Every structure is written in C-alpha cells, then in structure tokens.
Amino acid sequence: MAATVGEILNYLNEIAPPEWAFPNDPIGLQIGEPSQKVERVLVALDPDPRTVVNAQYRQCQLLVTHHPLIFRPLSKIRFDDPVGMAVQGLCAAKIALIAVHTNWDVAPGGVNDTLAERVGLTEVRPFGEGPAQKHYKLAVFTPTEHVDAVIDAMANAGAGVIGLYRRCAFYTAGTGTYEPMEGANPYLGQVGKREYAEEARIEMLVPAERLSAVIAAMLQAHPYEEVAYDVYPLHTQAEHALGRVGALPKPMLGSELRDYLAERLGNPHVRLYGKPSKVIRTLAVVGGSGGDYLPDAQRAHADALLTGEVRHHHTWEAWARDVVLLEGGHAETEQPGVVRLAQRLREYLAPRNVEVFVEGSDG
C-alpha cells in the first residue's frame, strides 16, 4: 500500500514544522504534486545530479533532502548547469522533491540533537538564536453561552497553544450593545430596537500561519450574523534555538578533542582554531555552517564550538573569544541528522510497505 507525497509532507511538517525554518529558507515540496503515489523514498543531504541518478536507479518516486535544490526563483533551466541538470532528471523520471532544511536543524531529534548525540554530549541544552515565529492575539466577543464552542473551534484550528498546553484562552464578561437595522437577522433582539447582551471577550494566541484558519473556524462557530473581533500583532521573538551545548564524556585538551571528534565524525581532517592546550569540558555544536555562533557559544559558557565549516574571520575570532573552534566538515556534521530523518520516515512508512533508502549508506 503506497503513500502519497502529500501524506509524507504532512508527516515531515509534524516533526519539523515549517514555521521553525529560518526566513527565506525554501523548504517543503519543490518538485512534484501532493497526490503523487510513493512506494520508494531516497533520503539524502544534497539534491545533486548524482543523487538524482541514484534515486532513478532505485526507482524512487520521492527524494527527501536536507538542502533545498531551488534557493531562489530560477530565470532559466539549462541542462548543462548542475541545478538545471538535477531539475531535468527529477522531472523526466517524475520524482518529487521535498526539502527539510533549517526546520530539521532546530527540531527535537533533528540535525543538532543527533550531532550532540554522535559526539557523546550529556546534559544537552539548546543555545543560540533560532527562527523568529510571529504570533497574533485574536480577541472576539460572543454570547456567554457560546464561549466553550468558540474556544473549541479556535483551538482545533491551531490557536491557544502555549508550550505543552493547548486550548489556552482568557475571557472576561461584559455587556455588548447594538441596534439591528433593516434587513438584519439578529441572534438576539429585533430590527430597529436597541439591544443589550451579556457577552464575553475571548483572547487566544495564534501563530501567523494559522491565523486565517482560526478566524474561519471562529466565524463558523459563532452565532452572530456579524462578528466583532480584533487581531493584534505581537512582538516576534526566537523560540527554537538552533545549536546544542553539553558536557563531554571527560575533560580534554583542545588537541585531544580534535582527535576524538575526527574518530566520532569519521573525518581525519578535523581542523582546530584557537588554543590546542585549552581544557575543554563543555562543547557547543552547530551542524553545517555555524561559525557565526561563536558569540552565542561564549554566552552559553562553552569551552569549544564544533561546526561544519567556517570563514576566515571565525578563525581569529576563536582566539579573541578564547573559544576553541573545530571545523568538522559540512557533510560530516549533518549526515547523522539525515540518517536520523530516514529512520523516522521508515518508522512512519513501515505500515504502508514504503521502502526508504539513505544516500551514502547501504540502507
């Protein structure tokens, strides 16, 4: 029994919600259509032409990658260009493409949690900036006897989630007044007569991406012909930190940590910037390109930061901040998270008998 691209996309959106992605990160379905049937999936770090050939060879209908293929609108597609070559290969074989990028970096069990586990960190906690998630406050006025019905409708559409609590709402009692005009069909009162009604003002928190759905659900559940409601934009702040920081299995010199990470990551070319003789007890990790997180690592009281690749100014900044910087390889720091993503997909798709393969793996 096959699954569809849309069903798989919905599952990926559950474990790594799109709103957790950084601004302008082109995640989600990039090629294909939600109704397409899927019997085989290839999971990979990059959607490069070699990976596309592998997906064709395995007769996959879906390619799921960490890095997106299309980062900006394409003005042309040329078959002698690597991106155009990959697009042509996917379209010719009718293989859909889904990208799960920075939303999987920050997600529980995602790239950086998996990297922290790979290098043996304990007492792991988040650190650093993450994607900003915009919220609104929706306030609506309703007859007191309909308070629960309206709150239920809004909550079921995605409003009122605060941490591990759902259906969070606040309401206060008051008196509403209005005067129905000719042609009106009032829930309470008569045309031409002033009415006073016992009402409640309901307030609920709404994520930006659920605002339209919540308003529609509220209007459907509300008994009034014309509904009075207000929408207030709230201060936007980062809610899901990108990096992870934790304790090493034992204190190590910077040079010892470099050799330890080389073995753990399977990369003999791990580079160290900073003081090789510094004693490292606490390590911060950011898979991929995370040199900009040096200040955050310092504020998190990390002795060292492991990331995939760095720019030149990061190499001297590490000395200045007295934070040892270790460059472990972009692919080497993200591939464990790609394998973990494939494992999650296998668990989800096992009842459908959908096969899941991993690029660069025997599985």
pLDDT in tens, the chain (363 residues): 789 999 999 999 999 989 889 888 999 999 999 999 999 999 999 999 999 999 999 999 999 999 999 988 888 899 999 999 999 999 999 999 999 999 999 999 999 999 999 999 999 999 987 776 788 999 999 999 999 999 999 999 999 988 778 999 999 999 999 999 999 999 999 999 999 999 999 999 998 889 999 999 999 999 999 999 999 999 766 567 899 999 999 999 999 999 999 999 999 999 999 999 999 999 999 999 999 999 999 999 999 999 999 999 999 999 999 999 999 999 999 999 999 999 999 999 999 999 999 997 544
What is this structure's pTM? 0.76
The residues pairing with 357 across neighbouring beta strands, listed in sequence order, are: 42
Of the candidates 107, 336, 341, 142, the residue with the CA atom closest to the CA atom of residue 244: 107
Q: What is the pLDDT of residue 362?
A: 47
- Asked if 111-130+241-328 and 135-235 have one fold, the answer is no
Strand order in the sheet with 96-99: 28-31, 96-99, 62-65, 40-44, 355-358
What topology does CATH give the domain 135-235? Alpha-Beta Plaits (3.30.70)
Q: Are 305 and 286 in contact (CB under 8 A)?
A: yes
**Burial class of residue 222, CB neighbours in 10 A (0-12, 13-18, 19+):** buried
Q: What is the pLDDT of residue 239?
A: 66
In CATH, the number for domain 111-130+241-328 is: 3.40.1390.30
Tokens, residue 137: 């406050």
Q: What is the pLDDT of residue 164?
A: 73
Integer-rounded Cα Rg, in Å, for the chain is 26
* Domain ranges, ordered by start, for the chain: 3-100+336-358, 111-130+241-328, 135-235
Q: Which helix (H) or strand (E) holds 261?
A: helix 254-265
Q: What is the pLDDT of residue 240?
A: 78
Chain Cα centroid distance, residue 4: 21
Q: Which CATH class is domain 3-100+336-358?
A: alpha beta
